[in-house]
Structure 1
Amino acid sequence: MKPAEAYRWLLDYSTTTSLHRSMKSLLNWDQRTYLPKGGHSHRAQQVAAITALLHGRATDPEFAEMLAKVEASQIPGGPLSDEAVNLREWRRNYDRATRIPEALAVELAKAASQGELAWQSARRENDWKGFLPYLNQIISLKRQEAAALSTGGEEIYNALIENFEPGENAGSIRVLFDKLADAAFELLEKIEAGPRKPDPTALQGDSPASVQKTFIMEIIARLGYDLGAGRIDRSAHPFTSKIGPGDVRITTRFDPNSFVMALFSSIHETGHALYEQGLPAEHWGTPRGRPISMAIHESQSRMWENMAAKSPGFWKHFYPLARKQFPWLNKIDIDKFLFALNEVRPSLIRTEADEVTYNLHIIMRFKLERMLIGGELEPEDLPEAWNTWMERYLRLLPPDYSNGVMQDVHWPAGAIGYFPSYALGNMYAAQFYAKAEEKLGNLQEMFEAGEFAPFLGWFRQNVHSQGSRHLPRNLVKAATGEDLNADYLIAHLKRKYGRLYEL
């Protein structure tokens, strides 16, 4: 077979694999939304079966043969050509997949499915004892996966980070995180000593779920989310799922006493969905048409949630609509609402944390999962370690497991190595936002006028359409002209909260 024919074979093979991956995505979406309890066991078997199929395709010797044939030809061209990008990612994924035995891949998929389902009920019932066996199994399997993926003398946790962040490692991440933590502690101290205090009751009032959903759907559509190619449902933990081209779904959860939680979790997920809907459709089914990393993904969600949707310009535009849907807001001045919306206060729950303290939640999880995978910490000792770091970083002690060590779905679902992506995403977001404003002009004036298309357009051009063309750190340099720099996020936080709190 000639190299050109082999490349065509690889494209077809990749597209078929992506169709199978879409089926798995649909199973996972259903599991987290509508699956009845009686279907849990069978669903775990379904997920395990399709995982075995996907692992077999990912490690197929014929795929390796075709890949090697094309790599040795002139087809790749320049390093950023579509062909070169596909070959780079196919090679990386193949080399990693072949290091993991199929039995381990299947066991991991089954354990992650069972672990997430167990977590849903265990968290609701504050049942750490019942949850621990599932967590023990996941940690044991993830240690095996990390060891299998590791290529040298480096710590095995790096291999799990690589699942989500190509090119990153714990050492380089720690340098950035130490800088973020120091800045957060310093700013938090100034805020707590400052003269101004927001009134959190400004965010509370009767908020029927049906009204919230109508309000949310109007806002996210205005931001650019194509509801004709997506939908919004309820789930225990909000998430985004791309089933395939033309089908990118988000979920949220509602609080009847305030629309704020549902709105901002929905805008967060909309950021993810906008990225997925903006990927180059002509490359669907190949690496060139996929997101490059979860930190880049999180940069989109965190940027829309915090930098755009919690800004004065955004609310000068949408506050009249909010008052129409929630009449109790007519008694709340917009400045009072904005101050309460951006309150800085250490909290137990990561997803409810403000911008200043959020990274501290991530950094402590990074430290804990690094110790878990490295064998310095065992799952049964995790609650004590969790509480120690919560007191050290946030000066809070969880009253129970549900609001402490069991609050996140990531570990029981097997997503160990994911947490660093959130804080990395915050850094990418601040840098992207600053460069978008340099290019477009005053973003607050645009938001106040309800003009979100130019802002989204900058990301469509510089981030979304790039797919996996660049590795994450190369993407930020291509889009902004600079290497990743934590100073953009630190400057954003100091400027925003210095103004709000009159520091």
Structure 2
Amino acid sequence: MRGWYFLRCNRLQWSKRRLQPLYQPTRGVAWKGRAQLSNVEKLVQDFRNEVARILHFEEAMYLMEWDLRTGAPKRGVPLRAEAIGTLSDEVFRAKTSPRMESYLNRLSDPDVFATLDSVTAGTVRELKRQFDRDKAIPADRKKAFVMLTSEAQSVWEEAKETSDFELFRPYLERIVDMQLEFIDYWGFENDPYDTLLHHFEPGLTVAELDPIFRNLRQETVRLLQDIVASGVRPEVGPLLQDFPIWQQRELSTELLLYMGFDFSAGRLDTTVHPFMSSINRYDARVTTMYVKNDLRSSVFSTIHEGGHALYEQGIADELIGTPLCTGTSMGMHESQSRFYENMIGRSMEFWETKYPSLLERFPTLSGMSLEAFYAAINEVQPSLVRIDADEVTYNLHIMIRYEIEKALINRSVKVAELPLVWGEKMQDYLGVVPPNDALGVLQDVHWSGGDFGYFPSYTLGNIYAAQIREALHRDIPDYMSEVLQGHLLGIKNWLNDKVHRFGKLLGPREILQQVTGQGIDSGALVRYLNDKYRPLYHI
């Protein structure tokens, strides 16, 4: 699922200096003969031409998938799924072809690899990783999986609309069976779920993630208990009036522009489940969902997906035409969306600037003070739906999904048992039980797309965002003063410089270490949540 993803690098300035170029010229070739260098140059050119050809197929596939989720006619879904399956098969075969294998083997030779520029070397590394993973799967099984998930996503939408898990169950059973089949092809060392985590967050394991989640859960529950005991209850009623959809659309456009989103390199559309799709470097498509009687839904889904889009729009031009021209991992991508949605978009400073224009657009809010509005958009209340969850309880929703996925992959839970298991874990973690499947096990699109291992990236994104926020404060101590003055460009430029421009050239841990000087540490997130919510709830 391509659900997220600089203004040109050579136009972007930070602290009155140009960004350092990503491209590093050919290295270590002086001792080689000119003829041999020419051979290497031709090999590289042929390789990059083949990579570009594959990426063009992928671009067509991404566009078809985006259309499938933003209004394709229902009766056309099976044929569209077949077309996507055919394109996916072509991409899969090209990426695992004898020709690609030959390119990767020749370019991975130590003597040749030492001559490559940094972008080509990174492309070889990334495609070799993909090749090794994809080559393990028979092409016909990969095509079958893509066709299955393309159709399953549309069935999921119908099942969610009718709150009928049984409609979706046979598709999910086949998806889980195929995931288990693929894991057998890939192999694993300690836990079969590790293989799925690696797809979204390279190198991450259950053994590493379990204690991080366990500690974060303990701190979250402690804070949540204190908030509940405080007795403070923000008044959210004014945000639950009727807000005309056309005005919400205008507001969403205004918010994206304010964030620095480039509409000449992207667009905004409507969908059932908000996502961001990067079709190419200059085509980042944001989608959002409008709820007539809840203004918060479109506001924060737009800012969230806009954060994903700014990441994609901030990638350096040097990476165009390579598989490096996207976010380095799902977790790092989520860090950008969650940073903008929560740490900027739910801050008092942000709304001190934007609230007057919001009142002009929606005068029925005029009786609500800025302070009351701020408290309402930061209400902490255990809820049924993940995407509507507040910052404090959100990660508990993720942990529920993480535990269920591990159980499915380790065969300790059956798909047919999911509604019951879901309800039990919701009661255990959040103290609420969904009244139906739509508000329970069917609420997320991810499993219909086969994206097992994806959910932990959301909490990792929150953790990364908090760590990056502390680094931003270190470099620009008064950055929130800029927000108060209505200026977000300095923050965007800093993120472009420190995170976005590298795309996939650097791994998530490299970027995190480079920006923060640390590895994965939930401490920054715990500090952020306590510093924000204890004063808000007078505890």
TM-score w.r.t. the length of structure 2 is 0.91
2: distance between equivalents of 1:379 and 1:106?
A: 23
The question of 1:56 aligning with 2:113 is answered: no
CA drift of 1:410 comes to 0.3
Match of 1:398 among 434, 444, 464: 434
1: distance between equivalents of 2:350 and 2:528?
A: 17
For 2:512, the equivalent position in structure 1 comes to 476
Is contact 1:75-1:83 (8 Å) kept?
no
Is contact 1:80-1:470 (8 Å) kept?
no
Match of 1:66 among 87, 103, 106: 103
2: distance between equivalents of 1:193 and 1:443?
A: 33
For 1:36, the equivalent position in structure 2 comes to 73
Is contact 2:281-2:325 (8 Å) kept?
no
For 2:337, the equivalent position in structure 1 comes to 301
For 1:490, the equivalent position in structure 2 comes to 526
For 2:411, the equivalent position in structure 1 comes to 375
For 1:111, the equivalent position in structure 2 comes to 148
Match of 1:98 among 91, 114, 135: 135
2: distance between equivalents of 1:144 and 1:418?
A: 18
Partner-residue secondary structure (3-state), 1:438? helix
Q: Which residue type is aligned with residue 238 of structure 2? A: A
Residues 206-240 of structure 1: per-residue CA shift (max 9 Å, x gap): 31111011111111111111112111111110011
CA drift of 1:175 comes to 1.5
The question of 1:324 aligning with 2:360 is answered: yes
Match of 2:124 among 63, 87, 100: 87
Match of 2:315 among 274, 279, 285: 279
2: distance between equivalents of 1:468 and 1:50?
A: 24
2: distance between equivalents of 1:163 and 1:27?
A: 23
Match of 2:459 among 399, 404, 423: 423
2: distance between equivalents of 1:26 and 1:457?
A: 28
Structure 1 consecutive aligned stretches of length 4 or more whose deviation exceeds 3 Å: 73-80
For 1:362, the equivalent position in structure 2 comes to 398
How does 1:140-159 map onto structure 2 within 5 Å? 140-150=177-187, 152-159=188-195
How does 1:327-366 map onto structure 2 within 5 Å? 327-366=363-402
After alignment, is 181-190 or 224-233 more displaced? Answer: 224-233
Match of 2:263 among 222, 227, 234: 227
How does 1:155-194 map onto structure 2 within 5 Å? 155-194=191-230
CA drift of 1:245 comes to 2.4
For 1:11, the equivalent position in structure 2 comes to 48
Is contact 2:106-2:112 (8 Å) kept?
no
Q: Which residue type is aligned with residue 520 of structure 2? A: L
CA drift of 1:79 comes to 10
Partner-residue secondary structure (3-state), 1:495? helix
Is contact 1:234-1:252 (8 Å) kept?
yes
After alignment, is 261-270 or 286-295 more displaced? Answer: 286-295
Partner-residue secondary structure (3-state), 2:105? helix
Identity %: 33
Unaligned runs of 5+ in 1: none
2: distance between equivalents of 1:80 and 1:307?
A: 37
CA drift of 1:78 comes to 9.3
2: distance between equivalents of 1:304 and 1:24?
A: 29
For 1:130, the equivalent position in structure 2 comes to 167
CA drift of 1:82 comes to 2.3
CA drift of 1:360 comes to 0.4
2: distance between equivalents of 1:76 and 1:176?
A: 37
Partner-residue secondary structure (3-state), 1:412? helix
Partner-residue secondary structure (3-state), 2:69? helix
For 1:450, the equivalent position in structure 2 comes to 486
CA drift of 1:258 comes to 2.6
Q: Which residue type is aligned with residue 163 of structure 2? A: N
Distance 1:37 1:330, change over 3 A: same
The question of 1:238 aligning with 2:274 is answered: yes
CA drift of 1:412 comes to 1.2
Partner-residue secondary structure (3-state), 2:284? strand
Is contact 1:276-1:291 (8 Å) kept?
yes
How many residues are matched? 502
1: distance between equivalents of 2:482 and 2:526?
A: 24
1: distance between equivalents of 2:49 and 2:192?
A: 34
Is contact 1:206-1:326 (8 Å) kept?
no
CA drift of 1:73 comes to 4.5
